[in-house]
Amino acid sequence: MDALMAALVACFACQLSDRLGWAASAQAVASGRPVAALLGVALALAVANALAGAGAALIAPLLTPNARALFLALALGSAALGGVTAPKPPAPQARLGAFAASLAAGLALGLGDRSQFLAMAFGVRSSPVFAAIGATLGGTVGCAVVILGGPNVAARLRSRAVRLPIAGVLLIAGIAAALSAFRLV
């Protein structure tokens, strides 16, 4: 259950300023269908995080407890570094509807992104199923804030004033996990 909450909070924070919410928000504005865009994002996140959970279930038995903690530290540090730089604008998908465009963007941007890496790391450390569910819920709620908030909210959430504190908290959590992995705390 701790993996669910940790993944939910970390992925919520990451998705607030990631490209996925930005792309879906643009589709929602262009089509006038924010609910369809949100459903496309939710499905894409569910697929990506299910794959992360499956990967976590496969590799977790092969890792020692210290290696699991170090894997989590690496994921948190990577997510922090990903939050330092401003995201590039996503390519528009004019020919697709809001649902299909958001689903396509979610699959393209969501596979291998920092939220999926975090879901896998929390799944390796604890329950892969709960980590995948938490990452999906957190990512979906984070994207919902961006989509339903509109372009002005999306622009504010991509600002340095939001990205850098989130990156700082993720970095501190990553350092704590690394120290725990090396049995220094």
Q: What is the mean pLDDT of each run of 10 residues along the chain (185 residues)?
A: 88 89 85 90 94 95 93 94 80 73 83 89 94 95 92 86 93 93 79
Nearest in space to 8 (alpha carbons), one of 128, 142, 102: 142
Residue found under tokens 């924070």 = 13
Whole-model pTM? 0.89
What is the maximum alpha-carbon separation in the chain? Answer: 54
pLDDT at 78: 93
pLDDT of residue 65: 92
- Confirm if 29 and 111 have CB atoms less than 8 A apart: no
Return the residue matching tokens 């090396």.
182
